[in-house]
Amino acid sequence: MMPRAYPVGTGWIEVVTGCMFSGKTEELIRRLNRARYATQRVVMYKPAVDTRYAVDDVVSHSDARYPCRPVSSPAEMLRLVGDAQVVGIDEAQFFDETLIDVVERLANDGRRVVVAGLDQDYRGKPFGPIPGLMAVAEYVTKTLAVCMVCGSPANRSQRLVQRDDQVVLGASDTYEARCRLHWDPERFDAMQQSLPLDDS
């Protein structure tokens, strides 16, 4: 028996996770583009609540884009997947725990499922279904950003504005990547505090 890098004759789950600005979405798009170039049927999903850059595209902070289907719940993915061989899911932390069962079903049906999302919220706590997905995945990639204070590898998302909600959609106006030394979930940026933020 010859060892293989990827499963043959079965589906599998890949999770790409890390803090904000660590390249998770770029890596997801790169993997799906490679599958598309190999003439595989690919579909991408994202939470309908994520309208930061585009409604019908997954967009990285560096403006890499991939067409997607926004969905309100993981169950919609099962209804819309059709004959896709490869399924991408971005911003998975915004879905509820039912995403784990949906991803398992997609993989058990013989599909390659690539999931990207934050592993920790701004308080450094495990975020949504990501820890459960990491547990059942065949492959986990942990990405690192660059600390905006010192330039060291960063694995935390520093929220710059004071909001109590776990989910506050935003980009560089709301969050920064920080290393363990410079991350402080109780400290917010005074200048950012004065900026208007859409809380809708």
Q: Using the structure block, give the residue that is written with the tokens 């390249």.
A: 23
Q: Catalytic pick from 14, 91, 97, 104?
A: 91
DSSP characters over 61-92: TT--EEE-EEESSHHHHHHH-TT-SEEEE-SG
Active site residue 76: no
Q: Exposed, middle or buried by CB within 10 Å (0-12, 13-18, 19+), for 150? A: exposed
Beta bridge partners of 156: 178
- How many helices (H) does the chain have, and how many strands (E)? 5, 12
Count of CA atoms in the C-beta half-sphere (13 A) of 1: 3
First and final C-alpha spacing in the chain: 56
Neighbours of 82 (CB within 10 A): 7
Quick one: 16 exposed, middle or buried, by C-beta within 10 A (0-12, 13-18, 19+)?
buried
Active site residues: 91
